Structure 1
Amino acid sequence: MRMDLVLELLDVPGQLIKVLEPISALGANLVTVIHKRDYKNEHGKVPVQLTIEGELENLKNVVKRFEELGFTIIEMDGVVRKETITTILHGHIVDSDVRDTMDKINNLEGVVITAFDVKLNGEEESTALINIEADIGLKQSVFDKIAEIAQEKELLVINEV
């Protein structure tokens, strides 16, 4: 059986080797690897396309090991597994406890903040651009949670369309 995967890796030495090691160790074979270092996403990660083959159970173990190692699998056999969500908060972001805001979003299962950039305007209101990675199908839940946080903290929220 064959499986096509697209992973996102940090563009640092050793990442490709780390992702390739579990394949043979868990009884699968590498058929194809395409590593596009010249294309980085907004988080500084590069896509790596892999085709692996082996028994179904071995392939499942490889995928499980990738997840344990913290590699993001964004596509499996042509099915997108993760999506990026971008939102903006405006108001007294720092005064309303940035850490609490981040924790409330990160506490959603299948959701993680990948970037939280705050632009300060002295003592005035500030703006935060938040990039979130979520499992497919969770976008509305993320928007609902952000709206709840914004209402509680009296922040303006601008979601992507």
Structure 2
Amino acid sequence: MRIDLVLELLDAPGQLVKALEPISNYGANLVTVIHKRDYKNDNGNVPVQLTIEGEQENLKDIVNKYKEIGFSIIEMDGVVKKEKITTILFGHIVDQDLRDTMDKINDLEGISIVAFDIKLNGEEKSTALINIEADVGLKQKVFDRIGQIAKEKELLVINEV
């Protein structure tokens, strides 16, 4: 059996080797590897496309191992598994308990904040750009949660269109 994966790896020494170890450990064969270092995203991650051959159970074990060690599988056999969501909050973000805001977003299953950039303007209102990675199909759930948080904390929210 053959599986095509696109992983998102940190562009740092040793990450590609770490991604290839489960293939060997579970007795599968690497057919293709394309490491796209020129396509680094805002988080410093790069896509790595792998084609792997092996027994079905071994391939499942490899996919589970990637999830266990924290590698994002953004595509599997041509099916997109993760999507990027960007939103902006404006208001007294720090005064409204920044940690609580992040925790309320991260509490959603299949969702994680991958970047939270805040621009402070002294005692004035601040702006936060939030980058979220979510399982496919959860975008509206993310927007709903952020909308609830913004309403509670009297923040303006600008979601991507």
Q: Same fold (TM over 0.5)?
A: yes
SS in 2 for 1:109: coil
Q: Which residue pairs with 1:3 in the alignment?
A: 3
Q: Which residue pairs with 1:24 in the alignment?
A: 24
1:156 to 2:151 alignment: no
Deviation of 1:114 after TM superposition, in Å, equals 0.5
RMSD of Structure 2 on Structure 1 (CA): 0.5
Identity percentage of aligned residues: 78
- Poorly superposed stretches of 4+, deviation over 6 Å: none
Return 5+ residue gaps in structure 2 as ranges: none
Q: Which residue pairs with 1:35 in the alignment?
A: 35
Q: Which residue pairs with 2:147 in the alignment?
A: 147
Counterpart-to-counterpart distance in 1, 2:71 and 2:156: 33
SS in 2 for 1:42: coil
Deviation of 1:151 after TM superposition, in Å, equals 0.3
Deviation of 1:44 after TM superposition, in Å, equals 0.7
Deviation of 1:39 after TM superposition, in Å, equals 1.6
Deviation of 1:24 after TM superposition, in Å, equals 1.4
Q: Which residue pairs with 1:85 in the alignment?
A: 85
Question: TM-score scaled by structure 1?
Answer: 0.99
Q: Which residue pairs with 1:60 in the alignment?
A: 60
Counterpart-to-counterpart distance in 2, 1:59 and 1:27: 9
Counterpart-to-counterpart distance in 2, 1:134 and 1:44: 18
Q: Which residue pairs with 1:46 in the alignment?
A: 46
SS in 1 for 2:21: helix
**Which amino acid is the alignment partner of residue 11 of structure 2?**
D
Aligned positions, number: 161
Deviation of 1:89 after TM superposition, in Å, equals 0.4
Deviation per residue, 1:80-137 (Å, 9 max, x gap): 0000000000000000000000000000000000011111111000010000000000
Q: Which residue pairs with 2:133 in the alignment?
A: 133
Deviation of 1:42 after TM superposition, in Å, equals 1.2
SS in 2 for 1:116: strand
**Which amino acid is the alignment partner of residue 79 of structure 1?**
V
**Which amino acid is the alignment partner of residue 66 of structure 1?**
Y
Deviation of 1:38 after TM superposition, in Å, equals 1.8
SS in 1 for 2:70: coil
SS in 1 for 2:17: helix
Residues 77-116 of structure 1 mapped to structure 2, 5 A cutoff? 77-116=77-116
Counterpart-to-counterpart distance in 1, 2:124 and 2:13: 42
